[in-house]
Structure 1
């Protein structure tokens, strides 16, 4: 049996609220549990146990049923059953994506467990999130968790607290702001105010914790939503159906009641990439991870409430990648390293116990190890990196004299956000040849 489903943003909610028999329940006396998460590129990555197998999932307020991406790598151990073929559609201009809908799966997040969970297993290997984030990410989970439990995300401590609604109580908080949520297709929306082109414009935004940007706005001349004179065209990210491009700029202010952020990043995606997202009545865009991480957040779907409290990231300056390079982890490469097991405790200085003196051991032993290969997958036209001669497909071997194998993917990318005029020297491998390129990071806006 085949079905065709349409996703309205990154992914659509595909079913109504679950019945009381199919809910996440916390199996301890407190009816509450706290778990650690990884914050990668403004995204929350949590451990999720699926049918007894521990995986890593992106926590996304914009998705309904869990979706597994690294399906081909984990299908055998997950024992996915009761399946039917469907087709999903989301952001991007590509074709619908084939997936398997599976029923009767067991999900466990900390002490929260749910039986009879539906999930969608996607076959397309291009949708793997791991290369872009630099860590294994097997899937996405959202609405099914948020609708059953109160979800408190503390970005400062990188912890999530899950609580059953009947035992949850709000603490007095004078420094908090509380918002009413609206739901369309089971997705949460909030109202905000953007200062753009010297005008304050009220906007209705999807809350999208699965997006790493700050704000996305849909261009609307009548409403005054358009980039300022200062903008640049760029790759914005990957949707379910392909890459998304658009204009990047800044808004003068972004206000959530009394919380006001200045010079916040904003992106205006191309109309074709967000065609299905724009059909939601009165929707003007999205509020994503680079805004959410600046608050401690309480999602209370049952009461339709969102609570925000400023945290240590609130005043962090907004910045853009000044190089024009987008990297991904693609495979591995062989690196020669010093074999530390063959070196004495004092480095190369070894002690001769019988003569009670020291000698220098000039014989250094090396070993060959496999390390991640960081590859240029997107290159902004007219960027410093492109003008220097770099190309998509180049493997970056070193940055400013230090091997990239010493860094995580996010640490390498972070160097492209450095100060204006910072000199960047890259050694790359291209078609088996080693090449060197240099450029200065440029002001974008």
Structure 2
């Protein structure tokens, strides 16, 4: 399988560590700051202003310091007190050079930090934008969770940064408050998983809003965490030091508190991609956006607890890549559309009892610039691969619908609607239009 950016995992360590950052604060009279977000590929996308520049970030509870990248389309952004550092992270690549910067102003509405540290990654390969379909400039996490009581409403797509001085905990109906462990600037929750027909296995999971996947488990046979027989090798995500691969599968269930999800999507990353983490301690994996989006949360890091309540996404089926095809934006392309001119010739049809009128319009051509969507990866043995699609093919239409009229995630949904559906894909390859057809099938054979 070709390497590509699809699920996002950015866990890292940096030397030297930045130590100058102050805290986010709000005016004392203000109870909370509400921020609307977009939910794209299970990731929370929020607006952030840095030193007066308006940017877009992923809210990532798995990252300990803000990271800035993808500045190629940004006309101007100033950062303060810059020095060079080396960044290492999950993945199979080498450490990379980056910049550290201290004393920056971060703003989310009235929530502000006047001395925020950040890292700037200069590697153009670290870029969410092509696979998400919108510009994304970085990731931000721990400081917001540290300094506020953070309410995440996945159902209504907003976060509230509550001022701890004014917040009064009110546990709503059908909600449950659970212990939350904060270790090395990251949050962990305990639960159980059911693999095969064995008993529930206790697990400690990193809470990772910056992962669009569902559940990652470490292969730990001594603890009962065996890989189910029905599985396949797949690309799982990208760390700062490269791509991460593993076995994708399904577990019979995962339970957090009193909430249980059955037949949950899961993956077992290969251990070599976690070589950076010398000691995993009692951690058994991580829970990402495809599970988290099924709940609404109130995170209280200071008191070590999280309140959860299921929302309207709770029973939404887990999404699998049935077609085996992955897409990303690849710049812009021209399209030509035939349109009617302003002027026209009007004629009446003789002997028509109702006086039918026919309008003949002059044809004209309209040229438009639209995003180009290309195949960024294909899973070996998948329906798309067997039909003959290739990496680099330009997608023109899916089931007769021209893709430029849709968002990237909508096109992916068209390609993976339901098992047994026939999909017709019109592509451009070497300046020729080709039509492919395939039937979506289960990713796990019976």
Q: 1:278 to 1:379 in 2, by over 3 A?
A: farther
Residue in 2 that maps onto 1:151: 150
Q: Does 1:53 align with 2:53?
A: yes
Q: Give distance in 2, aligned partners of 1:190 and 1:128.
A: 29
Deviations 1:72-95 (A, max 9, x none): 433x62112311111211222011
Q: Deviations over 1:49-82 (max 9, x none)?
A: 11111111000001122111113433x6211231
Query: How many angstroms does 1:108 deviate by?
Result: 0.3
1:350/1:293 CA distance change after superposition, 3 Å: farther
Indicate conservation of the 8 Å contact 2:67/2:140, yes or no: yes
- Shift of the alpha carbon at 1:217? 0.5
Contact 1:66 1:142 in 2 (8 A): yes
- Who is 2:237 aligned against? 237
Question: Partner residue of 2:443?
Answer: 444
Preserved CA contact (<8 Å) 2:216 2:268? yes
User: Which residue does the alignment assign to 1:288?
Assistant: 288
Q: Residues 25, 381 of structure 1: CA spacing in aligned structure 2 closer, same or farther, 3 A cutoff?
A: same
Match of 1:106 in 2: 105
Distance 1:351 1:93, change over 3 A: farther
The superposition leaves residues 78-126 of structure 1 with CA deviations (integer Å, 9 ceiling, x where unpaired) of 1123111112112220111221101111100121011011111111111
Q: SS at 1:436's partner residue?
A: strand
Match for residue 365 of structure 2? 366
Matches of residues 23-422 of structure 1 in structure 2 within 5 Å?
23-27=23-27, 29-74=29-74, 77-199=76-198, 200-277=200-277, 279-339=279-339, 342=341, 360-422=359-421
For residues 104 and 17 of structure 2, the distance between their equivalents in structure 1, rounded to whole angstroms, comes to 18
- Give structure 1 regions of 4+ aligned residues with deviation exceeding 4 angstroms: 13-19, 348-352, 356-359
Pick which of 239-248 and 43-52 moved more: 239-248
RMSD: 2.3
Shift of 1:358: 6.1
Structure 1 residues 278, 216: closer, same or farther in 2, change over 3 A? farther
> Partners in 2 of 1:224 and 1:392 — Cα distance?
38
CA distances 1:293-338 after superposition (whole Å, capped 9, x unpaired): 1111111111111110110011111130101111111111111134
Structure 1's unaligned 5+ residue stretches are 1-8
Contact 1:71-1:121 within 8 A present in 2 as well: no
- CA distance in structure 2 between the aligned counterparts of 1:285 and 1:265, rounded to whole angstroms: 13
Question: What residue is the counterpart of 2:3 in the other structure?
Answer: none
Residues 11 and 361 (structure 1), Cα distance of their counterparts in 2 relative to 1, 3 Å cut: same
1:167-224 CA deviation, whole Å, 9 max, x = no partner? 1111132411112111222111111100002121101111000001110001111112
Separation in 2 of the partners of 1:215 and 1:110? 33
Check conservation: 2:177, 2:308, Cα contact below 8 A.
yes
Q: Is the 8 A contact 1:65 1:118 kept in 2?
A: yes
CA contact (8 A) 1:233 1:246 kept: yes
Looking at structure 1, the residues matched to 255 and 31 of structure 2 have their Cα atoms a distance apart, in angstroms, of: 35
What is the distance in 2 between the residues matched to 1:209 and 1:158?
Answer: 14
Partner Cα separation in structure 2 for residue 18 and residue 305 of structure 1: 26
Q: Are the structure 2 counterparts of residues 84 and 18 from structure 1 closer, same or farther at C-alpha, using a change threshold of 3 Å?
A: closer
Q: How far apart in 2 are the matches of 1:29 and 1:351?
A: 71
Deviations 1:328-357 (A, max 9, x none): 1111111113458x559xxx89899xxx99
Query: Is the CA contact 2:253–2:263 (under 8 Å) kept in the aligned structure 1?
Result: yes
Kept in 1, the 8 Å contact 2:212–2:290? The answer is: yes
Unaligned runs of 5+ in 2: 1-8, 349-354
Residue pair 2:182, 2:301 contacting (<8 A) in 1 also: no
Determine if contact 1:217/1:284 at 8 Å carries over to the other structure.
yes
Name whichever of 327-336 and 429-438 sits farther off.
429-438
2: distance between equivalents of 1:31 and 1:16? 32
Note if contact 1:71-1:122 (Cα within 8 Å) is conserved in structure 2. no
Name the residue aligned to 2:351: none
Aligned residues: 428
Does the C-alpha gap of structure 1 residues 194 and 332 become closer, same or farther in structure 2, counting only changes over 3 Å? same
Once residues 327 and 350 of structure 1 are traced to their aligned partners in structure 2, the CA distance between those partners, rounded to angstroms, is 46
- Looking at structure 2, the residues matched to 409 and 69 of structure 1 have their Cα atoms a distance apart, in angstroms, of 21
C-alpha deviation, 1:12, in angstroms: 3.5
Match of 1:6 in 2: none
Q: Counterparts in 2 of 1:425-444, with a 5 A limit?
A: 425-444=424-443
TM-score (norm 1): 0.91
SS at match of 1:210: coil
Q: Distance in 1 between the 2:73 and 2:277 partners?
A: 31
